[in-house]
């Protein structure tokens, strides 16, 4: 059992910019306490001699090698484009600066 309090959960929620109702705070104290207990249990696992890994299964890069091959020139690639600027496709803006 950790020393997690309702104020701790409220503080974490404010840091995460999450607005919680009072009843949610009460429930989350218990839920987060359970999570912290499980984390503490996992931290007790013997890890000596275990190599760190980024993924539990061995992964192999399935992409092809990056090889230079003949391709279109910028002018050929942009020849059928409705609008091009500075050797790039030009498209209408859909997002604002806000």
pLDDT tens string 7-56: 999 999 999 999 999 999 999 999 999 999 999 999 999 999 988 888 88
Query: How high is the pLDDT of residue 32?
Result: 93
List of E strands, 1-97: 84-85, 88-89
Hey, what domains does the chain have and what are their CATH numbers?
Answer: 6-43 (1.10.20)
- Is residue 31 within 8 Å of 20, Cβ to Cβ? no
pTM (predicted TM-score): 0.49
Query: How high is the pLDDT of residue 33?
Result: 92
The span from the CA of 78 to the CA of 98, in Å, is 31
Other CB atoms within a 10 A radius of the CB of residue 7 amount to 10
């Amino acid at each position: 059992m950790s020393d997690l309090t309702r104020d701790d959960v409220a503080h974490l929620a404010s840091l995460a910019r999450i607005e919680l109702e009072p009843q949610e705070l009460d429930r989350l104290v218990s839920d987060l306490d359970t999570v912290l207990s499980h984390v503490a249990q996992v931290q007790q696992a013997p890890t000596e001699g275990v190599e760190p890994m980024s993924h539990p299964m061995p992964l192999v890069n399935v992409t092809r090698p990056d090889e230079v091959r003949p391709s279109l020139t910028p002018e050929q690639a942009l020849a059928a484009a409705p609008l091009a600027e500075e050797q790039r496709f030009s498209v209408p803006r859909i997002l604002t600066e806000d």
